[in-house]
Structure 1
Amino acid sequence: MTIYFYKVGDPYGCFSNFSAHPIFIDDQSWSTVEHYYQSQKFFGTEHEALIMTIRAVKTPEEAAALGRDRCRVFREDWEQVKAEIMYQAVLTKFLTHLDIQSVLLSTNELLIVEDSPTDYYWGCGSERTGQNQLGKILMQVRQEVRQQLAE
């Protein structure tokens, strides 16, 4: 069996970066993982002031729109660091919120897939041929949480 997730209101919607589970990372509070992730694209760039703008917007949809604006220059190392930034944010989310941590752990060893019809990097895409990087991170986080609980 495979666990597919995408929208916040659907089963396993807590796995979405848009879910309303705040995180505290880099000495700041962020409303969602999406807010944090999108803001990090501008660290050390001429658009660094956008980090606080993204942090302050009300919804993850607004954060995503600001962060996906290709008119702005992303940090030079973005492609090299984006997966680690996502991993740290997702790990923080599931270590912080015990209610959704139990949901993640309840998936045992099942495959977790972000069922995004448009994202072939983080999700599986409409043909389900994408890389599913977010699903892979969730499964890594699941393992990391198990290890921390066993210590």
Structure 2
Amino acid sequence: MTPVIRFYSIQDAYGEFSNFAPYPILLDKKRWPTSEHYFQAQKFLDANVQERIRSASTPLLAARLGRDRKQRLRADWESVKVSVMRRAVEAKFRQHDDLAVLLLSTADARIVEHTDADAFWGDAGDGSGRNMLGRILMDIRTILQTERRK
């Protein structure tokens, strides 16, 4: 039986997998405090809105700003959001070797963002969600495993 690793809060085991975990990333020639900051900012084409999100004091505030529907979402958001998340998460695990080691230590375990607050990125709390963040983490783990075998 395949082991399952569930994560959500940054205080819990494997909390480093959360987009709220305090691991800055460099993308698009800018430093982003967390992968959450980057992801939320990419919802918008307006550079001022992106910068306001990038400079948010916490990932929770960045998430709130990114969910503000007074700002116009980019028209292609639904079709690009998974690739944007993958880019942010991959940058995080490539730019922080301790995180890559942690991810690789999960071997072939199923990784699940366990939350009833999200049925797309997470498991909806009951396993019925799509767990897209967990899937991205497992995909990146496979890439890193393959690269390290060479």
Equivalents in 2 of 1:150, 1:25: separation in Å?
Answer: 26
Equivalents in 2 of 1:26, 1:63: separation in Å?
Answer: 18
**Map 1:115-126 → 2, pairs under 5 A:** 115-126=114-125
**Map 1:23-34 → 2, pairs under 5 A:** 23-34=25-36
Q: Which residue of 1 aligns with 2:23?
A: 21
Q: Which residue of 2 aligns with 1:12?
A: 14
**Map 1:42-121 → 2, pairs under 5 A:** 42-43=44-45, 47-121=46-120
Q: Which residue of 2 aligns with 1:143?
A: 142
Cα distance, 1:100 vs structure 2: 1.3
SS of the equivalent of 1:21 reads coil
SS of the equivalent of 1:18 reads coil
* Structure 1 unmatched runs, 5+: none
Equivalents in 1 of 2:125, 2:70: separation in Å?
Answer: 26
Cα distance, 1:80 vs structure 2: 0.6
Question: Sequence identity of aligned pairs in percent?
Answer: 43
Number of residue pairs the alignment of both structures matches: 148
Cα distance, 1:27 vs structure 2: 1.0
**Superposed CA RMSD:** 1.0
| 1:88-135 Cα deviation digits (max 9, x unpaired) | 110110011111111100000110000011100000012220000000
* TM norm structure 2: 0.95
Equivalents in 1 of 2:127, 2:42: separation in Å?
Answer: 28
Matching residue's letter, 1:10:
D
Matching residue's letter, 2:25:
I
Equivalents in 1 of 2:76, 2:97: separation in Å?
Answer: 33
Cα distance, 1:48 vs structure 2: 3.6
2:39 corresponds, among 28, 37, 40, to 37
* Structure 2 unmatched runs, 5+: none
